[in-house]
Structure 1
């Protein structure tokens, strides 16, 4: 697990619980935490597995990539190019690299730098993982991992088996990546709200902003001839209608169908809280760049990117109506 933060630790912990030989490579802060407290992974169904400190192989040196059979890449999107250089320098030629990252363009970066010596595979993580401190990583939203269907991922999926980090395979990973990106447009709104995921989703003004950004995204993808796949219970065409639906319908039907617990929050919210640069350029920004290539505008997603930039510089969270006015002008 290269770039083992919240997602990498949760997924790797689940895979280790399934019997795989897992090594984690990440930041010194996580290494120190796990050295003190061990690692505990849990999910919204009450499943939990704990490892003592000496049972977790967590390192900070990328030299540890040298004997990996599979490298699950979980670094933030802005660090993809540097991670590719580390893999090229330390990884074993022929190793499979699975990008479990947000956005679309990371795989293109990896292929440019690695495709001549490594097998690059697109992956997808549909859920949020909250870092709760003291070595605890909690999956608060339903969903399963996906990766491209090939012999090495078939063997990996079989070894993982049934798990909170089960791996599903698909021949349409680009469609799945775009479908997931449309869902991830909520990440920025969650971050701008300063609220837990459930609390944010229960406010229709926040959801109206998300729905508008998704509607804009669906139109752009159609114009570009890109077919996003259905990720989760609702397909891309219907997703903005569901998200923007009246409170009585959203609360009583859709929120009851989606498994989201009170600990869940978006990774972008975590980044803002920690004072880190967010991945907005690889989520809403992907649609802005697509619009630029098509010679059209994407005013909703462009405005969301602008507001996240202000939040990264210290702007306070926005209440529901204020965010709606800022983005939608009404």
Structure 2
């Protein structure tokens, strides 16, 4: 048994199983608070972790603890929150109910509202916002595959938490202005919906100039809303947020040379929203495009790209038929129709 911190991954899906599994494989005491389906897969097949660079790790179910009962939080020194944004408040209540003051809680979630929700319920905890820059795909039978690169980033604080949890295969760093980086990741995540609607692997979508141009329009629209609120997103890459739309609009040969780091992903990787839509699960569209739309409405600004994406994703979720494989021209047409309707 490890004499280090006891870690509970609260809401262990693809990201949680991958991160928790690597921590367990390095000797940490890890409990995965997961759905019965995920537990059954791991108990039957073990936990297999792979990545696009060739890493392959397999852990037996004996090397970590699986739990479906929130009372496992009572033993936690560190809680890694990896639930979807819509489940954050419920998880915050569970953490507040079962953990003492001072327990370290790290939010490794998409969207910008999760830290505030956690803080409402956990005012005496050591709460850190964080971001996960890479994509993890659930392959089935307890296998989780990291399809892109990047280091975990968490909000700075006491106890050098990042150093305690960093691994060769899972580097974690602390950053003083985590909010600016989160906004940068937020802008990147706006493509999750477009990727889901396209049905394309992410790399193929990024190599298609028409899709990149729509991505650029969406990015520029959201960035203008953030600028109006005096929000300045920061990127973990050398390219400033304000230049990303111009980069995306470049001809493909030039784009692939300049943005080679963006293309260092598995050829078949898709975004988490594409995975959710394919599996007929609710998506996090409200925490992404919904956030842009609400802020724009408060400012009295029009957001035709964002509005269109919200409409079409709503239809796709309601249809429950998986990935719609829409051409980019269909989304452009729907956006124009929405604008005409507003004018009428």
- Answer yes or no: same fold by TM over 0.5: yes
**CA gap 1:97/1:279 in 2 versus in 1, 3 angstroms:** same
Question: Of residues 136, 143, 157 in structure 2, which corresponds to 1:150?
Answer: 157
Aligned to 2:80: 72
Match 2:146 to one of 139, 142, 146: 139
Distance change (3 Å), C-alpha of 1:77 and 1:186? same
Q: 2:35 aligns to what?
A: 27
**Structure 1: which 4+ aligned runs deviate by more than 6 Å?**
none
Which of 120, 132, 148 is residue 112 of structure 1 equivalent to?
120
Q: How does 1:50-65 map to 2 (within 5 A)?
A: 50-65=58-73
Deviations 1:281-309 (A, max 9, x none): 11111111111222222221121111111
**Matches of 1:190 and 1:124, distance apart in 2:** 20
In structure 1, the residue matched to 2:92 is 84
After superposition, the Cα gap between the structure-2 partners of 1:106 and 1:312, relative to the gap in structure 1 and judged at 3 Å, is: same
Cα distance, 1:327–1:145 mapped onto 2, change above 3 Å: farther
The answer (yes or no) to whether the contact 2:81–2:106 under 8 Å persists in 1 is yes
Give 1:257 deviation, angstroms: 5.8
Q: Deviations over 1:147-175 (max 9, x none)?
A: 111123x2x32233343321111110110
**Structure 1 residues 273 and 113, CA gap change in structure 2 (3 angstroms):** same
Trace 1:311-330 onto structure 2 (pairs within 5 A): 311-314=316-319, 316-327=324-335
Task: Tell me if structure 2 keeps the 8 A contact 1:27–1:60.
Answer: yes
Q: Secondary structure at the match of 2:89?
A: helix
Number of the residue aligned with 2:293:
288
CA contact (8 A) 1:19 1:160 kept: no
Structure-2 separation of matches of 1:58 and 1:41 = 16
Could you say what secondary structure the match of 1:311 adopts?
helix
What TM-score, normalized to structure 2? Answer: 0.90
Decide which of 53, 56, 70 is 1:48's aligned counterpart: 56
Shift of 1:256: 6.2
TM-score normalised to the size of structure 1? 0.94
Q: 1:194 aligns with which of 192, 199, 211?
A: 199
- C-alpha contact 1:206 1:324 (8 A) present in aligned 2: no
